C-alpha cells in the first residue's frame, strides 16, 4: 500500500468518528507568479487532529520501507514533550492500537 493509499484508509477509518477530529496537513512550497508561498510546518505529520481531551494528534504515515526525516523526528519530540500523541503509522491497525493505548475509546 502506498503512503497516499494508507493516508486515505486512515482518514476513512478515523476521520468521521465523533470522538476525535482528524484532517490532512500539507507541507510544501508553491510558486504564484513571482511569489513563493510556504505552507505547513516542516516535519509535521501527514494527518493532524484533536483528541477528546484536547490533546494534539499527529500521524506520520509511512509505507513499509519509509523512514522519518530528522525534521519529522524533531516534530515528534516536540509533540510528545507537550503531551500530544504522535503516531508513526505503517497500517490502520497501528493507529487503532496507539489511540487505544492513549485512552481514546473508539466505539
Domain ranges of the chain: 3-101
87-99 confidence digits (pLDDT tens): 999 999 999 999 9
53-96 confidence digits (pLDDT tens): 999 999 999 998 999 999 999 999 999 999 999 999 999 999 99
Residue 106's pLDDT is 85
Burial 40-72 (b: 16+ CB within 10 A, else e): eeebbbbbbbebeeebebbbbbbeeeeeeeeeb
Residues 6+ positions from 14 with CB-CB distance below 8 Å: 20, 22, 95, 99, 106
Mean pLDDT of 11-23: 94
Q: Would you place residue 39 in the very low, low, confident or very high pLDDT band (cuts 50, 70, 90)?
A: confident
CATH topology of domain 3-101: Trna Endonuclease; Chain: A, domain 1 (3.40.1350)
Asked if 75 contacts 87 with a C-beta cutoff of 8 angstroms, the reply is no
In terms of pTM, does the model score above 0.75? Answer: yes
Asked if 29 contacts 38 with a C-beta cutoff of 8 angstroms, the reply is yes
Q: Would you place residue 35 in the very low, low, confident or very high pLDDT band (cuts 50, 70, 90)?
A: very high
Q: Can you tell me which residue has the cell 523512514?
A: 67
Amino acid at each position: 500500500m502506498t503512503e497516499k493509499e494508507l493516508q486515505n484508509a486512515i482518514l476513512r477509518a478515523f476521520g468521521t468518528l465523533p470522538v476525535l477530529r482528524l484532517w490532512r496537513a500539507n507541507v510544501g512550497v508553491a510558486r504564484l507568479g513571482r511569489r513563493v508561498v510556504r505552507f505547513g510546518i516542516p516535519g509535521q505529520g501527514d494527518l493532524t487532529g484533536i483528541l477528546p481531551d484536547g490533546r494534539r494528534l499527529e500521524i506520520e504515515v509511512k509505507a513499509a520501507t519509509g523512514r522519518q526525516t530528522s525534521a519529522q523526528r524533531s516534530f515528534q519530540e516536540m509533540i510528545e514533550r507537550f503531551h500530544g500523541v504522535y503516531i508513526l503509522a505503517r497500517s490502520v491497525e497501528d493507529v487503532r492500537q496507539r489511540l487505544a493505548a492513549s485512552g481514546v475509546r473508539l466505539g
